[in-house]
Amino acid sequence: MKHTGAEIIVKLLERQGIQQIAGIPGGANLPIYDALARSGAIRHVLARHEQGAGFIAQGQARTTGKPAVFFATSGPGATNAISAMADAKLDSIPVICITGQVPRGLIGTDAFQEIDTYGLSVPITKHSYFAQSAEELLEIVPEAFRVAQSGRPGPIWIDVPKDVQMELAAFEAWPEIGRPDPAPAIEASAIEAAAAMINAACRPIVYIGGGAIHSGASGAVRSLVEKLNAPTVMTLMGLGALPVRHALSLGMLGMHAAPFTNRALEECDTLIALGARFDDRATGKVARFCPQAKIVHIDIDAGELNKIKNAHVGIVADLSDALDRLSPRIAPRPRDSWNTRVGALKRDYPHYLTDLENPLSAYGIIDYTARMLEGETYISTDVGQHQMRVAQSFPFERPRQWLTSGGLGTMGFGLPAAIGAALERPDATVVCFSGDGSLLMNIQELITAVEENANVKIVLCNNNSLGMVHQQQDLFYGKRIFASNYSRAVDFKTIAEGFQMAAFDLGESTDPVLLLAEALRMQGPALINVPIDVAHKVFPMVPPGGANCEMIER
C-alpha cells in the first residue's frame, strides 16, 4: 500500500483510538489537515490559540488518563505551544503535539515561519522527534504513544516537514499500536525493608502525590491508608486520590495547608511517600520538613528518589504493583494514640475558611458552588489565589476530578483544560474557577467553548488584580503594590456575551445564590462573574523560603 506522510499520521492516530484533536491549521501543516478532512474518523476542535489547543489536550488527557493529541503549524504555531508542553512535562501528562515544519530543503535558511522546533522542544518534553521521511512516521507515531505512557507519563513532540507530509511511502502493513512498556521489576528486599519500617512506626503519615492518580493506584492507596489507620496528606496534584472528606485525610500539605496538617507532619516518625516528588511548595524549607521522620519513597521515576529528600527505603516501581506487594506485609494497627494527637492538633490549630455564608466572598463562592453541583463533576482552575482556595476547600471525592496546573503554574490553563474535560465527558458538568488575570490569558477560547457547546461553567473570582502577586507584595514587600492592580475594570459579562456565551454577574443580583443556581443548572457554557475583595488573602501561607512550621495562619 502507499500513503502520504500526512495520511500515515492520521491513520496511525485513528489506530491509537484518538477521536478528537484540538489545533490550528497553517501553511506548514495543511497536508495533515487535508488528510484529516478526508478521513472523517477524528473530530477536529478549532482552538483560537495554540496554547489553548495544548491545554484542551491536557484537559482530555488529565480526565481520561490516556494520551491526547493537538496540532500546530510551524514557527509561531510551535512557539505558542511551548508553554502547554512545558506544563505537561512538569505535571507528567501524556500529550502529543504534532507540528508542521518548513520543507527539508529550506531548513536552516531562515525561511518563512521556520524555527528550530526540535531544539526548542527537547528540554520541555519527555521525548521529541523530527521526521525526516514519510516512512519514519510508521515508527515514530506508535513510538510516541509508547513513550508518552511508559513509566512516568509525559509529553511528546513530533515535528514533520511539509514535504515529508506530502511524500509517498510504500509499505506492506500498518505497525502495531504503541502500548506502554511493562512496569519495572520490584526488588523483594526493598519491599520487605519498607514493610518493616512501616510496621515499626508509631506516628506514620501517608504522603500522596500525583503519581497515585497517574498509576491508577487510588483504590490501593485508600486500602493501605485504612489498613494503617494513618493520617494522610496530599499534594496539589494528588488531591482526589483519597476523598478529601475521608476520616483519615488531612487535606493538602505545604505552603497553603491547614495549620494542623503541617504541624502533624512535624511530629510524624515515618513518612510514606507514594508517587510524590517532594516539591518545594509541599515541603517548604527541605531541611525542616518532617525532621523526625524516616522516609519510605515509592516512585516510578528513579530520578525522584533522593533528589530532594533522602529516602531510608526507596523503591522504583509502578505504585499499583508496589502496593500489591507491600500491603499484604503491613500489619493493621488501631493507632489510637497518634490519631488522638492529630485530633488535638485539628482542634488547637484549625483552618479558618472565612465568610463562608457570603456567596460573594472568596471562599463562599466555592462553598456554594460545591453544594449546588450534582452528578458527575470536574473542577479546573487557573493559577493564583482562587486555585489555592479551591485546593483548600473543595470536597474532591475521586481521582481525575481535579484539573490544575501544578508544577509550571500556568495562568490561562483553566478554561481550555475545562473544554478538554467537557469534550471527553459531555454529560458531566465542568466548573472552571478562574481569576480575572488568568482568564485574560486565554480568553479567546470562550468562543471555542461556545462552538463546542461544552458544558463548562466559568466561575470568575474577580478582584481586578493579580491577586497572589498583590498578596505577596502586601505581606513581604513593604506593602508596595506595584503592577498588580488593574487601573481599569474589565466588563467580563459583556465580553462573554460578545462571544455568544451566556453570562451572569452575581454582583448585580439581589439574590446571588438563586442566580448562581440558575447558571450552574443551565446546559452549555456560561460565565459567572463574582466580585471579590482584593484585600481577602489566602491563609494560611508559608513565607517564600520558610519552613512549613513558620506559616502565617491568619
Helix count and strand count (H, E) for the chain? 22, 20
d(CA 373, CA 385): 22
306 CB-near residues (< 8 Å, 6+ apart): 314
Q: Which of 11, 16, 20, 50 is catalytic?
A: 50
Residue type, 2: K
Cell 517548604 belongs to which residue?
Answer: 284
d(CA 456, CA 431): 6
d(CA 182, CA 191): 19
Q: Is 162 a catalytic residue?
A: yes
**Alpha helix ranges (H) inside 232-351:** 259-267, 280-283, 319-326, 336-348
Cell 489507620 belongs to which residue?
Answer: 229
d(CA 36, CA 409): 33
Q: Is 171 a catalytic residue?
A: no
- Rounded to 5 degrees, what angle do the CA atoms 317, 320, 326 make? 80
d(CA 527, CA 458): 5
CA proximity to 164, closest of 116, 98, 69, 109: 98
Q: Which of 197, 468, 541, 551 is catalytic?
A: 468
DSSP annotation string for 113-180 = T---HHHHHGGGSSEEEE--STTTHHHHHHHHHHHHHSSS---EEEEEEHHHHH-EEE-SSPPPPP-P
Q: Which of 113, 135, 192, 451 is catalytic?
A: 113
243 CB-near residues (< 8 Å, 6+ apart): 249, 395, 396, 397, 398
What does the DSSP 8-state code read for residue 483?
S
List the strands of the sheet with 502-505, edge to edge.
Answer: 402-403, 377-381, 429-435, 456-462, 526-531, 502-505
Q: Is 89 a catalytic residue?
A: no
Is residue 523 within 8 A of residue 265, CB to CB? The reply is: no
Q: Is 126 a catalytic residue?
A: no
Residues in the chain: 554
Q: Which of 89, 126, 162, 346 is catalytic?
A: 162
Q: Is 1 a catalytic residue?
A: no
Is residue 1 within 8 A of residue 171, CB to CB? The reply is: yes
Could you list the active site residues? 50, 112-113, 162, 468
